[in-house]
Amino acid sequence: METLAPSLWIDANVVDCWGAILNYEESAKKDPSPKKHAKKDPSPKRHFFLTGCITEAMVKGTIGKDEQWDIFSAEISAHLKNVDASKFLAEIELAFFPIQVSSHFYVVVFNIKKSVTSMIILDNSPQTYVAKYKDACDLLVSIL
C-alpha cells in the first residue's frame, strides 16, 4: 500500500481527484427524502476547489491582477458549470483551496460564513506564515 508521505511527489490531478471524491461525499450527505422531525445536519457545508484556481504564477506575482482574476474566475465557472453558482456558493461554509508552490501542496480553508479573512492553513511545513503563505493567502482574500 502506498501513502501520501512527506517528500513524495504528488501530481495535481491526484489532489483534484481527492477533491472530487470529497465533493461527491459532501453531496451524498443530503437526504433526498427528508423525514418528518429529522434533525438538521450540524456539519458545515464544505466544498473542495481544484488546484488550478490559484496558480504558482498568481502566488509569485508574475502575472497581473486582471489576469489573476481571469484565471480564477474561469476555473470557478468551469468547476460550477452544472449548478446555480450563486445559490451553491451562498450555501458553502468552508471553502478548501489546494495550492501548489515550488512542488509543495498545502490547503487554505476559508470559513466564508464568518469572514473571508477567517482561514486555516493545513500544512506540515515549519515555515512561518509570512515566509510561506502570506502571498497566496493575501491573493485569495483579495479575489474572494
Residue 44 exposed, middle or buried by CB count within 10 Å (0-12, 13-18, 19+): exposed
Q: Where are the beta strands (DSSP E) in the chain?
A: 46-48, 94-101, 104-111, 119-122
How far is it, in rounded angstroms, from Cα 89 to Cα 23? 13
Encode pLDDT of 58-103 as tens digits: 888 899 989 989 998 898 888 888 888 778 878 888 889 888 887 7
**Model pLDDT for residues 100-114, shown as the tens digit of each residue:** 887 778 888 888 887
pLDDT digits (tens, 9 = 90+) for 4-40: 666 677 788 888 999 999 999 988 876 555 555 555 5
pLDDT band with cut points at 50, 70 and 90 for residue 48: very high
Residue ranges of domains in the chain, CATH in brackets: 43-143 (3.40.395.10)
